[in-house]
Amino acid sequence: MADDSPKSVVNGLLGHLPPWPRKQLSNSLIAMEQACRQREGLPLLSDADIAALKAGQPMQWESGDAASTPASTGAPPTPAPAAAVAAPAAPAVAAATSAPSGAISEEVAKWVAAGKKWSKSSIAAEQAHRGRKGLPALNDAEITALLGEPLTPATAPAAAAPSAPAAATAASAPRPAAAAATVTASAAASVARGGDATKYVGTPAVGTSKAVAGAGVASVGPEDNEINRQRRRLVWSTVAAFLAAWFIAFFRFFLPRTLFEPATSFKIGYPEEYGLGVDTKFQQKYRIWVDRTPDRLFVIYARCTHLGCTPDWKASENKFKCPCHGSGYDSEGVNFEGPAPRPMDRAHVEKSPDGQILVDVSRLYQWPKGQPSQFNDDGSYLPV
Ligand code: FES
């Protein structure tokens, strides 16, 4: 079956590598191959294989040395560990026990002791990084330890100790024994610690840290990375904004509801600025019309005397017309049609010290029906 694939040979797994004869391979190419094998769950290249690839030499199993091949269980053959070549007569597990690839370096032991969990992709990235830098790749024991739960410093050496067959078997099993590749890394790590193959899945809930610790599982919270920090900031900003809005609404309740009305007394300019007739420029602002006749100037308060609507000035008809019920007023605000009972009121006017017209709409002059007119009282007009 192995011969069916152009990428595999009888005594080893060629993977994505070019077949022999080939030139020297660069560190980056070897690192890419390691990363691909890591992703695809294939046995990694051993240190001896990497050295041979860098030197442009055939790998051990490519040279036809059958004694150097590892035991195969029917699955795709794997490259032989370097230690296996040195001791061909030893059983695969025993050879792996003394192999350099089974030892956990101090650096990896520190990582494991620090409790940081590694994913397969992060380990592949580390392998690629080491390949680029020309550093030795992570061996199986190190990968197993990094993938599993955190190891204590006391258990880290045990994974590589020759006197601990069970631990060494688990640590080095994925490479020499192809069948063992099906064993998950976390389970192997559990066996390596000599404990039960129990794996905690998910994030420990708050309050279960003792139970988790009792089960031999480290309680690791969410990583303190930039994304998590941004999420926390967003949550706290939302909470703060909600509380601020709530407090503003709460204190606003105690403030008085003030209605700001326009001033009732104001200046509207000089008498010379107004020509004969009706001027509507202050209708919107002060609700008045300025009316000038040949001998006087007065201010009409723009409110219908029927029910209080604001009439419109119809210049073409020279009259005011109330839109509500049709009352009509002449150009001086005197009613002549419709339900309006009397002429529109006039506001108090006087000259201010600066010569401008000062209007006070709080003081109105009226001409009630059947009663004397106030339109000739002092203050109801300005003589011009
Ligand atoms: Fe003006 Fe009725 S309110 S006519």
As a whole number of angstroms, the distance between CA 250 and CA 7 comes to 74
Atom of ligand 1 nearest to the CA of 323: 1
Cβ proximity of 192 and 170 under 8 Å: yes
Q: What 3 state SS string does 51-86 have?
A: HHHHHCCCCHHHHCCHHHCCCCCCCCCCCCCHHHHH
As a whole number of angstroms, the distance between CA 215 and CA 351 comes to 96
Proportion of the chain above pLDDT 90, given as a percent: 37
Q: Which CATH number fits the domain 265-383, given the four candidates 3.40.50.620, 2.102.10.10, 3.30.420.40, 3.40.605.10?
A: 2.102.10.10
Q: Which residue has the higher pLDDT, 39 or 362?
A: 362
Question: In which residue are the tokens 């009282």 written?
Answer: 377
Q: Which residue has the higher pLDDT, 149 or 249?
A: 249
What does the angle CA 323 – CA 284 – CA 326 come to, to the nearest 5 degrees? 10
Q: What is the pLDDT of residue 222?
A: 65
Query: What is the CB < 6 Å shell around ligand 1?
Result: 304, 306-309, 322, 324-327, 338-340
Answer yes or no: is pLDDT of 73 > 60. no
CA 154 vs CA 106, 294, 358: distances in Å? 12, 114, 98
What would the two tokens of residue 118 be?
Answer: 């590694």
Q: Closest by alpha carbon to 149, among 115, 191, 197, 182?
A: 115
Q: Is the dihedral of CA 271, 275, 278, 282 positive or negative?
A: negative
Read off the pLDDT of residues 11-31 as tens digits, 9 standing for 90 and up. 577 888 888 888 888 888 888
Cβ proximity of 168 and 97 under 8 Å: yes
347 CA distance to ligand 1 middle (Å): 20
Answer yes or no: is pLDDT of 352 > 80. yes
- Enumerate the domain spans of the chain: 4-223, 265-383
What would the two tokens of residue 79 be?
Answer: 């490259």
Q: What is the pLDDT of residue 308?
A: 95
Residues found in the chain: 384
Cβ proximity of 7 and 20 under 8 Å: no
Q: What is the pLDDT of residue 123?
A: 83
310 CA distance to ligand 1 middle (Å): 8
Q: What is the mean pLDDT of residues 22-51?
A: 84
As a whole number of angstroms, the distance between CA 162 and CA 96 comes to 9
Atom of ligand 1 nearest to the CA of 338: 4
